[in-house]
Structure 1
């Protein structure tokens, strides 16, 4: 089916109804966020249009294979294909559990391999520079206060940016040195909250008291939190002030730096899983894989027998 035909086709009504039921189940059982639901709907409806006029309840497994072959020919990245297959697998299990199908639609479909794509972490010295020099000297005092608390919290807690920006103003009232966080799927966890981050947060809240906002990081409309786009502009300015390449500094880089620095200093992988809010330990293990590759590279570059062609068994003498 050509791209024009796909765009012209509409997902069968039966398929749309199944997708709606699946997404409702995701909300009820997993507390799936709106952003997740929108992404899943887009992926599933794209597949449903591709399969039209057949309903997703009736298509064969060969359709899944043909769809991903078509995706590859269209230049869709392996990462995107892997994400879509993950979505389809969950949907396939849903149809099986609901008795809509007697088989699992995606059984046997292999996920395309792709590089993990983890960003390169900042060094500990670079983080210190970002916190010391990047959070002062802005156009106004409030920007200094906001920058300080945001960067302190991102680096010392490993929060996702969505978790950070959705923190309520009341979060600093939680005592015991722990910060309550609501993560993906509505899962709650407690993460250590440094005294420096708490003091910075309290200073920001005191400055913002007149706004009477329910959020720790209010947006232009105090009734709403700061947007991701608004935060990116602030982080960009912080990186410039610290003399760092802004392209290397992002919320995810700071989260990755938090995890990497903890592992470098001997943190337990299970503890890191809890801190990062990963539902599955395999997600956390990717950090150890990255560190293993870096250790191998360090040996190759710096050990006298580590370079290619220099290590290994000696050649047989003639």
Structure 2
């Protein structure tokens, strides 16, 4: 395994631990899978193309479905990480075998949980004098939950990305695809309050040192907020808030295609993962909104 692969794998595993609070055994298994794949590909896992991943899949043919599913999952998350970090222009994960295992739904939060997070933020901001870090926290959470931004998109926002007179921003996400993201009045107000504490010559909205806030630090900030709000920290992360944004919009009647556009999904099938709305509500929606309901109501 080359130094390049080794360093990137280590960075990915560090991110995995920070993002999901994965168990040490899970991280060790992912690390082993990635390093074995790197060795098989001559140290070129990070730059592997579809053909190389096809050879890797052939090598896994003798393994159990569960092992192949785990190895594929590890590599797909690794390639998604590289794409998010701008270390690859593409994500070749689709070329990896899928042995028919069901894709797990991401964690989410109830509306009551979200209310507790925002209540904790409001309590912090009410302190006198106000701590600028609390204003930063408010802006971060408002943008995560209010607009469904990815962690990498959020921390790398330019200082003036959110304009006070414009209810949207244009983001460049995975694969260089641009999308328009609505920004709520609450989020714009929170950003304006925080930006007043960011020097005009800073490049980033959430600066840190010579660069911008890291994703790992963002995870740490959110987990601390969750703990203060009485929510288990392993239940809260940037992706969980993004998923809550999608789930709660769907529960409120949002259109799936509109949600696909806001989340920046190239394939509607990816967005459909977010449709785990209660069966009861779906039945109620059909009974209340379907055109035949009016027809049946008019019949004697």
Q: TM-score, normalised by structure 2?
A: 0.65
1:67 is matched with 59
Q: Which 5+ residue runs of structure 2 have no aligned equivalent?
A: 3-33, 44-48, 80-93, 284-300
Shift of 1:110: 5.0
Higher relative contact order (CA 8 A, sep 6+): 2
1:213 is matched with 202
Shift of 1:166: 0.9
Tell me if 1:150 matches 2:145: no
1:31 is matched with none
Shift of 1:295: 2.2
Q: Conserved in 2, the CA contact under 8 Å of 1:120 and 1:253?
A: yes
Tell me if 1:80 matches 2:71: yes
2:271 is matched with 284
Tell me if 1:231 matches 2:225: no
1:190 is matched with 180
1: CA distance, partners of 2:76 / 2:166? 42
2: CA distance, partners of 1:183 / 1:58? 25
Q: 1:201 to 1:135 in 2, by over 3 A?
A: same
* Residue number among 280, 295, 303 corresponding to 2:279 in the alignment: 295
Q: How does 1:24-35 map to 2 (within 5 A)?
A: none
Number of residue pairs aligned between Structure 1 and Structure 2? 229
Q: Conserved in 2, the CA contact under 8 Å of 1:273 and 1:284?
A: yes
2:152 is matched with 162
Shift of 1:72: 4.5
Shift of 1:116: 2.0
Shift of 1:113: 2.7
* Residue number among 106, 131, 144 corresponding to 1:141 in the alignment: 131
Decide which structure has the larger Cα Rg and report it: 1
1:310 is matched with none
Q: Which 5+ residue runs of structure 1 have no aligned equivalent?
A: 1-6, 11-40, 51-55, 89-105, 300-318
1: CA distance, partners of 2:70 / 2:120? 36
